[in-house]
Amino acid sequence: MSDLTTTTDGKQKSSNTSDINNVSQVSLPTEHQQQSTKTNRTPIILNGPNREKYRSPLNTRYASVEMSYNFSEVKKFSTWRRLWFWLAKCQQQLGLDITEEQLDEMERNLTNIDFDFAEAEERRRRHDVMAHVHTFSRCCPKASPIIHLGATSAYVGDNADLIVMRDAFDILITKLVRCIQRLTQFAQEYACLPTLGYTHMQPAQLTTVGKRACIWIQDLLMDLKNFDRMKRQLRFRGVKGTTGTQASFLQLFNGDHSKVEELDRMVTEMAGFSKAFIICGQTYTRKVDVEIASVLASFGASIHKMCTDIRLLASLKEIEEPFEIEQIGSSAMPYKRNPMRCERCCSLARHLMTLINDPLGTHSVQWMERTLDDSANKRICIPEAFLTADIILFTLLNISEGLVVYPKVIDKHIKQELPFMATENIIMAMVSAGGNRQECHERIRTLSQKAAERVKIDGLDNDLVERVKNDPYFTPIVNKLDVLLDAKTFIGRAPEQVFEFISREVEPTLKNFLIPVTP
C-alpha cells in the first residue's frame, strides 16, 4: 500500500492520518498574512519548470538524461504495465481463459498512461498499485478483468525495481569502462615520468605519474567487477503471491504445481533474468538493496581517494583537471584555477557513501514477511545512489580525458628532495672509491642538516649537491653525481609495473566489455 500520494500540482501528501492531524500543531500564517505576502512579493517570471517548488539537484542539475529517465515515472509505470502484460500472456499460454484480444489491448497501451487520472485514483484509494490497475483498466476495458490476476503489489513494485536497478548498472558500467580506458591511456603516456611519492603526505621514494594513476585504475577495476557481479547476480522476485507462497497462483491453476513453477520461470525469462528467488516473503529480501548500496558506496570511496589525490597535486601545481577558456575559478580571485570537478566528485562521493545506512536499517526491521516502512525510504535512497554514482562518472569522464601534467614543476619538486634521498647512493659510491662508510655517513649527515636548515629556516633551495661538490672529501665521486642524482634511477620497476598491470589486468577486463584500450 502506498504511504505517499502525489497531487496533480505535484505536491506530496501523507496518507497517514496522524501526519494530517499533526498539521494543527504547526503555526500557519493567517489569511491576512498570506494575502500580505502575495501582495508584497516581487513577481517571479517562470520560464520552463516551476521554480517555486523544490527540485532535486541530482535530477535537475547533475544526472544524465539516460539515468534520469531510468528512474522516471514513465519508466516505472510502463514497466509495471509490461509486467502485467507478461503475466497475462504467460497465464494464457498455460491454459487460463485470456483472449488474444485482451492481450493485444494491453500491449497497445503499455505507454499510454494517464498520469492525472492515476494521481486522482491514488488520492482516492490511498494505494499506488491499485490506482494504476484502474488507470490501465480504463484504457483496456476488455482486459480489465484479468489485469493483476493472482498478483500482489510487490509483483509489479519489486520486479520493476529490480529491472530498473539492473538497467542502472548497465548505464554505470558503460561509463566506468570509458573512465578506466582514458585513465589507462594517461598511465601509459606517463609511465616513465618520475615524480615524488608521498607517504603520510610527506615526500618519500620516487614513483612515476603513470604508476600513481594505476593505483586509481586498480580501485576502479575492482568497482567495475563489483558492478558487473552485482548486475549478473540480481535475481527476479518473480511470481510469488502475497507472502511468497504462490498460493493464489496454485489456486488459479487448480493445484497444478508444475504450471505455477512454469509461470514463474516464463515471466522471469520475459523480464530478461536468468534466475528468480525461490524463497521470498512479500518482497525480495531487502539485503539485495544493502549489497547494491554497498558496491555503490565502495565506488564512492574509490572516487573520493582519486579526486583528493588530484586536488592535492593541483595545489602543488603538478597536475590539473581540465580548465576551460572562459571558466572562472573564483569570483574574488581571478587568477585561481580551482579543481571544482574533483571537488564536486568528492562532495557527491561523500553523499553516496552515507546512503548505505538506509538499506542497512531497512533490512534490519523487515518484520516477518514484510513491513511497509521500507517503501518511502527505498524510493529515495536507491534512486539517489544510482543518480549520484552516475553524475560522479559523468564528471570523472571529463576529468580523465583532460588531465594536464606539468613535468617541469614535478622535476623542480624532485630536485628539492632528491639530494636527501640520494645520500645512501653517495655513501655507497664513496665506499666503492675507497672511503670509510662511517666517516662518509657523518660528513653527509652534517651537510644534509645544514642544507635542511637553509630550506626550512631561510626558505631557500636545497643546496646539498653544491655542498657535496665543494667538500674536498667527496672529490673522488664528484664526476659521478649527475648519474647518482638521475631521478630515473630512483623509480625502481614503476614503468614495468605499469605496462604489466595494463597488459595482464586492465586489457583483459576491458575486453570483456568489448571496448579496446586505445581509441
CA separation for the pair 52, 42 (Å, rounded) = 13
Q: Report in angstroms the alpha-carbon separations of 85 from 81, 257, 343, 454.
A: 6, 22, 46, 80
**Side-chain-facing half-sphere of 446: CA atoms under 13 Å:** 9
Q: Which residues contact 495 (CB under 8 A, 6 or more apart)?
A: 191, 192, 208, 210, 211
Angle subtended by helix axes 153-189 and 209-233, to nearest 10: 160
Cα 275 to Cα 234: distance, rounded to the nearest angstrom: 8
**What is the C-alpha separation between 300 and 444, in angstroms, rounded?**
46
**Proportion of the chain in helix, strand, coil states, percent, rounded to 5:** 65, 5, 30
**For residue 233, what is its C-alpha cell?**
547476480
Sign of the CA dihedral running 186, 192, 193, 199: positive
Asked whether 166 and 499 are in contact (CB, 8 A), the reply is no
Q: What cell numbers appear for 265 in the block? A: 520461470
Is 347 a catalytic site residue? Answer: no
Q: Which ranges in 316-372 belong to alpha helices (H)?
A: 340-354, 357-364
Residue (of 404, 411, 418) closest to 195 by Cα position: 411
Q: Which of 36, 56, 330, 432 is catalytic?
A: 330
On whether the CB atoms of residues 252 and 91 are closer than 8 A, the answer is yes
Do 404 and 337 form a contact (C-beta atoms < 8 A)?
A: no
Q: Contact 307/346 with Cβ under 8 angstroms?
A: yes
Q: For residues 482 and 463, what is the distance between their CA atoms, to the nearest angstrom? A: 14
Phi, psi of 6 (to 5 degrees): -120, 130
Active-site annotation holds for 200: yes
**Is-contact 507 210, C-beta < 8 A?**
no
H-helix segments, 234-374: 247-252, 257-270, 287-315, 340-354, 357-364
Closest CA to 345 of 405, 404, 399: 399
From 24, 200, 315, 331, the catalytic residue: 200
Q: How far is Cα 418 from Cα 425, in angstroms, rounded to an integer?
A: 11
DSSP notation for 98-117: --HHHHHHHHHTSS---HHH
Which residues does the annotation mark as catalytic?
200, 330
